[in-house]
Chain A
Amino acid sequence: MRRLETRWGILMALPAILGFVIFTIGPMVASAFFSLTDWTIGASPNFIGLDNYATMVQDELFWKSLSTTTYYTLGAVPLVLIVSFAVAMLLNQKVRGLAVWRTIFYLPTLVPAIANVVLWIWIFNPDFGLLNSLLRQGGLPGSQWIYAESTAVPSMIIMSTWGFGNTMVIFLAGLQGVPRHLYEAVSIDGGGAWRRFWHVTLPMMTPTIFYNLVVGVVGTFQVFNQAYVMTEGGPNHATLFYVYYLFRKAFTESEMGYASALAWTLFMIIMVVTFLMFRNARRWVYYEMAGAR
């Protein structure tokens, strides 16, 4: 039985393992190699050592894109977490027409990226867009939204918050997994809604929050579509997101070698950030069932 299990075990894990080797390890090694060359599309690559990385350190736009992306991540991730957690709390109550409510809040996630971006171009338009129209009706001054340097990234944060559905679903799942007996215990002790939230919900949800935080940071760091379709990195590089800059180098300016170096640098940055988050997690994430199965 044991040998049979091993044989079947490896066999059944094989697609995943092969996929990992072919589509993850292989490309990783290849891109590490490309990053050490001056490869331009249409020409053959020459080995240039760490030159690309040296260029990068002096590349103003590399730093600009890194700081822009960090700014965006710092804004978007917490906001999405808070909004989706709040909505998940609401949807975790007994409400009529739950299917409708859930669909409503999940709707934005279903909009194809391109349609999403096109739609928001309209919403943000200072002259005939939705947001300024509403603001002016309320007697408030409008904004230039994506058309001014100072408001471009905040605008995109607002836009990304709109698509909070996936995060919300995962929070909802987490909320429904909180054992009822814990709440009952608090109630028996005479605790109200706030204490239930503070002493049961929040601690029990920390693993879910942590999961969403990590996934959110990793994903947000790779933001691309908005810059690509909406602003082309402008105005004045205000939305020059990292992956957009990388893409531009690779596929418009054809500098594949340099783009690969940018990609590897991003990987290392994300690794470090993730590592730090995991280290920090021990302090606040509550694991109900510590230890592996």
Chain B
Amino acid sequence: MTALATPDQTAARGVAPTQGLRKPRRYGRILLYVALVAGSIPTLLPFVWLVRSALMQDAQMFVSPPQWIPSPFQWSNFSESLTTQPFARYFLNTVVIAVISVLGTVLTCAVAAFSFSRLRWRGRNIVFALLLSGVMLPYAVTLIPTFVMWQELDLIDTIAPLTVPSWFAGAGGGVFNIFLLRQFFLTIPFELDEAAYIDGASPWRVFWTIIMPLSKPAIIVVTIFTFIGTWNDFLGPLLYLQNEENYTLSLGLASFQSMYITQWGYLMAASAAIIAPIIALFFFMQRYFIEGVTLTGIKN
């Protein structure tokens, strides 16, 4: 079962990730860029609208027909909106939750994926199939009982409900990550493990010193998916966090909408400011990201 997979997969890994099929002919290339530009306009317009609104005075936002250029540029929207609520605090809270979740998800999912891909034990495939079926389960089904469980444990208004599940392989939706990592691990030559075992290494050692270092792209993918998921999560913090001091950015933004219903410029500025770090993060990580998804061969 191991030998079969390797040659084909290693061949696939040899393909440079960003490499296309061939250089299109010149008119083809022009067409390509036209298509890219045409496609990116509707993608970017909402952002332009966001930034424009973030820099406007409220009165100007409600003019019909709408205007594109703020006059005057209301830079104070940014400074004021970010200081009226403790956004630094929210930022910190969100980072803490995101980091704990990412660590837990990556570690426990990778360990499980290692077990499901490179260790042979009875019932392994059945267990894995069962886990996979969890992806179909709507979160609405588990929402209420899970809430009751955390309440019984008296852990409402702590970050536990938002972070602990990630240390159980992400629970629920985390199965997707196990699947991704498992697919990736299957592409790593099994000879490496065998050599290590002959040298007397334990499975943990093989996992930690051989498999993990070779799996950076896949780990980056899981990291980014988990990070974005946690960063943008609204329902979880809404249900579990009660004290304002524990709020995350998403909650802060939502309460902002309530508090400043008449100050849309603030709301837009705060939104723009919250999106910015994520964009930067993605821009610098995107290469590994796409590479990672590619190499894990999701299609199988």
State which residues 127-177 of B face A: CB under 8 Å.
127, 130-131, 134-146, 148-149, 165, 167-172, 174-175
User: Among B108, B134, B253, which residue has its beta carbon within 8 angstroms of that of A115?
Assistant: B253
Q: Which of B1, B11, B43 has the most C-beta atoms of chain A within 10 angstroms of its own C-beta?
A: B43
Which bracket fits the contact residues of B?
35 or more
Rounded to whole Å, the gap between the CB of B192 and the closest CB of chain A is: 16
Whether A8 pairs with B138 at a CB distance below 8 angstroms is no
Beyond A31-B144, A130-B49, A266-B141, whether A173 also contacts B294 by CB under 8 A is yes
The CA-CA distance from A137 to B62 in the complex, in Å, is 17
Report the nearest A residue to B2, measured CB to CB. A293
The CA-CA distance from A229 to B148 in the complex, in Å, is 25
The CA-CA distance from A120 to B149 in the complex, in Å, is 36
Whether B299 pairs with A183 at a CB distance below 8 angstroms is no
State which residues 1-28 of B face A: CB under 8 Å.
1-2, 4-5, 8, 11-12, 15, 17-24
Whether A221 pairs with B138 at a CB distance below 8 angstroms is yes
Beyond A99-B287, A169-B289, A293-B186, whether A8 also contacts B44 by CB under 8 A is no
State which residues 14-29 of A face B: CB under 8 Å.
15-20, 22-24, 26-28
Chain A residues whose C-beta falls within 8 Å of the C-beta of B286 in the assembled complex? 99, 102-103, 106
Beyond A107-B279, A110-B275, whether A12 also contacts B142 by CB under 8 A is no
Whether B171 pairs with A24 at a CB distance below 8 angstroms is yes
Rounded to whole Å, the gap between the CB of B7 and the closest CB of chain A is: 12
State which residues 185-238 of B face A: CB under 8 Å.
186, 197, 202-204, 207, 228, 231-232, 234-235
User: Among B254, B267, B294, which residue has its beta carbon within 8 angstroms of that of A177?
Assistant: B294
Whether A34 pairs with B144 at a CB distance below 8 angstroms is yes
Rounded to whole Å, the gap between the CB of A260 and the closest CB of chain B is: 6
Whether A162 pairs with B46 at a CB distance below 8 angstroms is yes
Beyond A5-B119, A211-B298, A271-B136, whether A263 also contacts B172 by CB under 8 A is no
The stretch of A50-58, A121-129, A232-240 that contacts the partner chain? A121-129
Chain A residues whose C-beta falls within 8 Å of the C-beta of B64 in the assembled complex? 127-128
Chain A residues whose C-beta falls within 8 Å of the C-beta of B32 in the assembled complex? 90, 93, 95
- Classify the interface of chain A: helix, strand, loop or mixed: helix
Rounded to whole Å, the gap between the CB of B185 and the closest CB of chain A is: 11
**Residues of chain B whose beta carbon lies under 8 Å from any beta carbon of chain A:** 1-2, 4-5, 8, 11-12, 15, 17-24, 32-33, 35-36, 39-40, 42-47, 49-50, 53, 61-66, 108-109, 111-112, 114-116, 119-122, 124-125, 127, 130-131, 134-146, 148-149, 165, 167-172, 174-175, 178, 186, 197, 202-204, 207, 228, 231-232, 234-235, 239, 249-250, 253-254, 257, 264, 267-268, 271, 274-275, 278-279, 282-283, 286-287, 289-290, 293-294, 296-300
**Residues of chain A whose beta carbon lies under 8 Å from any beta carbon of chain B:** 1-2, 4-6, 8-13, 15-20, 22-24, 26-28, 30-31, 34, 86-87, 90, 92-95, 98-99, 101-115, 118-120, 122-123, 127-130, 133, 136-137, 162, 169-170, 172-174, 176-177, 179-180, 183, 196, 205, 207-208, 211, 215, 218, 221-222, 224-225, 229, 243, 246-247, 250-251, 256, 259-260, 262-264, 266-267, 270-271, 274, 288-289, 292-293
Closest 6 CB pairs of A and B: A19-B168, A9-B121, A30-B145, A23-B171, A16-B169, A115-B271
